[in-house]
Every structure is written in C-alpha cells, then in structure tokens.
Amino acid sequence: MSKIIVFSGASGVGKSTVLKLVMAARPDLRFSVSATTRAPREGEVDGVSYFFVTREEFQGMIDRGELLEYDEHFGNLYGTPISQVTSGGNVVLDIEPNGAFNARKANPKAMLIFITPPSMEELERRLRSRGDTPEDQIADRLERARWEIAQSPKYDHVVVNDELDRCVREILDIIAE
C-alpha cells in the first residue's frame, strides 16, 4: 500500500537538508515534483526541483483538474500534480500548510509531518545566516513562520530540527511505522 508523506516547515528551518538525508536513507521514497510559477533559483533543474511554468500554464492545469492542491505563496503559485501521487510507491511532498491540509482532504491517509525550529530566535538567526533572503523580506518570512508554526498542532507529528542527525533519525523512525 503506497504512502503519502507530507512535510511542511517554515523557511529557514533546514527542511531541504533534512529531506535530502531522509530520502537518501530511504531510496524507496519518491519526491513529488510540484509545479510553480516562481523563477528557478541557481542550480534548480526543471522537472527535478519543480516544473517551472507560466501563470497561463498553471491556470490550464487548474482548469483541467490536474492538481491535487495548490496555493499562492509570496506571490507565486505552487501545486501538486495528481500524476505525482498516483504513479505508485511511497511519495514525499514538501508543501506549505494550506496545501498539506488540502492534500489530507484529498487523501485522508496522508501522513503530515511538521519540521519546527527550536525557537523563533534560532529561526531568525538561520534565516539571516543563509544569506539568500533580503533583509526587507526577513520580517515577512518570520511572520509567515509564526503562522505556519501555529498550524503545527494539526499535523500528525511535529519534529524539532535542533540537531540535524537527531531530527532525521526521529523522522526515519516515524515513517518506518
């Protein structure tokens, strides 16, 4: 029976690093590639990181009923193509909370895992030290992070990313169930 495992976590929490290690330890998991209207960042590959599409193309996917869920995030659209979760095997989604709850509505057996920072102070420190968020966007990201963290009680599991290896081990234990 294939599993859908949905991860969310505020910007700066280290979610991509955690997920990379989780996926490396569990080669049976397949990453669900989302569609987005945001521009690719350095090193991102179309069809691997995301399907990078125009707003018109994204609207076409909505109109044709091709998306399991979608949401607008900081001015860009993001959505999970249904084809990503129906092609078999265990699949991992990295999506924000609105999408996570819609994914659970569409598929009540989905397991929702929230990765949370040890504290807001630590999240702010990580966000600044990452260096890819302009200073004038930091306050918006933190406000959004506060809202995301406030949603975390609705997740099946909340895992603190205090120490990378420990956090990855805890997730591996949860998904082994």
Binding stretches for ligand 5GP (CB under 6 A): 34, 38, 69-71, 73, 78-80, 94-96, 98-99
Q: Which string of b and e fits 119-147 if b means at least 16 CB within 10 Å?
A: eeeebbebbeeeeeeeeeeeeebbebbee
Minimum CB distance to ligand 5GP, residue 21 (Å): 17
Nearest distance in Å: CB 130, ligand 5GP: 11
Find, among 155, 162, 173, the residue nearest to 123 by Cα.
162
Unique residue bearing structure tokens 């924000």: 96
* Closest CB to ligand 5GP among residues 67, 168: 67
Q: Which residue is nearest to ligand 5GP (CB)?
A: 99
Nearer to ligand 5GP, 41 or 109 (CB): 41
Give the shortest CB-25-to-ligand 5GP separation in angstroms. 20
Tell me how far, at minimum, the Cβ of 43 lies from ligand 5GP, in Å: 12
User: Based on CB atoms, which residue is closest to ligand 5GP, 100 or 175?
Assistant: 100
User: What is the chain's length?
Assistant: 177
Residue 32 tokens, joined = 């669900």
Please state the separation of Cα 53 from the chain's center in Å: 18
The residue with tokens 């979760």 is: 85
Complex with ligand 5GP: residue 5 or 69, whichever CB lies closer: 69
